[in-house]
C-alpha cells in the first residue's frame, strides 16, 4: 500500500480562489495550495510589499539584497543591514529600521523593503486563508 493521500477520497482542493484543483502531494495538502498557486500568492505578496515604495527605493533594496548587505540575526524577522556608504550597520525589521530615514518615520526606508522582500521570499509555507 502507498502512503500517498488519495485526493478523491479526501477531497483536498486548492484554496486559492478560482483554482480548486485537487491536491495530490502531502506537502500541497498540508499547505492548502498547489505549487503554482503558492508561487502566484508569493508573487502577489512581493508586489504588494513593493507598492508603498518609490522606484529608487526598490532599486536600492534590490541592490542591497544582491550585494548580500542584509544578514539575518538570531531574532526571527530581524536583519542587520549595511549602509549605502558601507560605514554603518542598522537593525532592520520589515516594519522598522534604525537608520536615519527609518527613525524619522516619514516613509519606510529601503532597508525595510529589503527585509520585507527577504521575509516573503524565504517563506517555506503560506498561512492558510481563514
Residues 92, 31 share a domain: no
The structure's pTM equals 0.73
Domain that holds residue 83: 52-130
Q: How many Cα atoms occupy the beta-carbon half-sphere of 81 within 13 Å?
A: 32
Number of domains in the chain: 2
112 and 75 in a common domain: yes
84 and 60 fall within a common domain? yes
d(CA 4, CA 82): 47
Domain check: are 1 and 41 in the same one? Answer: yes
Q: Where are the beta strands (DSSP E) in the chain?
A: 70-72, 79-82, 89-93, 96-97
Query: Do both 34 and 56 map to the same domain?
Result: no
Residues 14 and 60 reside in one and the same domain: no
3 state SS of 112: helix
| Nearest-angstrom CA–CA distance, 88 and 76 | 22
- What are the residues facing 28 on neighbouring strands? none
Based on C-alpha coordinates, what's the Rg of the chain?
A: 19
Together in a domain, 20 and 57: no
pLDDT computed for residue 63 by the predictor: 92
Looking at residue 3, its pLDDT comes to 53
How confident is the prediction along the chain (130 residues), in pLDDT tens digits per residue?
455 544 444 578 888 888 889 998 888 888 888 888 888 888 898 899 899 899 999 999 999 999 999 999 999 889 999 887 888 899 999 988 888 888 886 778 899 999 999 988 876 555 444 3
Amino acid at each position: 500500500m502507498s502512503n500517498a493521500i488519495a485526493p478523491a477520497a479526501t477531497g483536498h482542493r486548492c484554496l486559492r480562489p478560482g483554482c480548486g484543483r485537487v491536491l495530490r502531494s502531502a506537502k500541497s495538502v498540508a499547505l492548502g495550495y498547489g505549487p503554482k498557486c503558492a508561487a502566484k500568492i508569493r508573487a502577489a505578496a512581493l508586489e504588494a510589499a513593493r507598492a508603498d515604495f518609490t522606484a529608487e527605493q526598490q532599486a536600492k533594496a534590490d541592490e542591497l539584497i544582491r550585494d548580500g548587505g542584509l544578514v539575518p540575526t538570531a531574532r526571527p524577522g530581524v536583519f542587520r543591514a549595511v549602509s549605502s556608504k558601507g560605514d554603518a550597520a542598522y537593525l532592520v525589521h520589515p516594519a522598522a529600521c534604525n537608520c536615519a530615514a527609518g527613525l524619522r518615520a516619514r516613509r519606510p526606508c529601503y532597508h525595510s523593503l529589503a527585509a520585507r522582500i527577504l521575509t516573503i521570499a524565504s517563506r517555506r509555507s503560506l498561512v492558510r486563508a481563514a
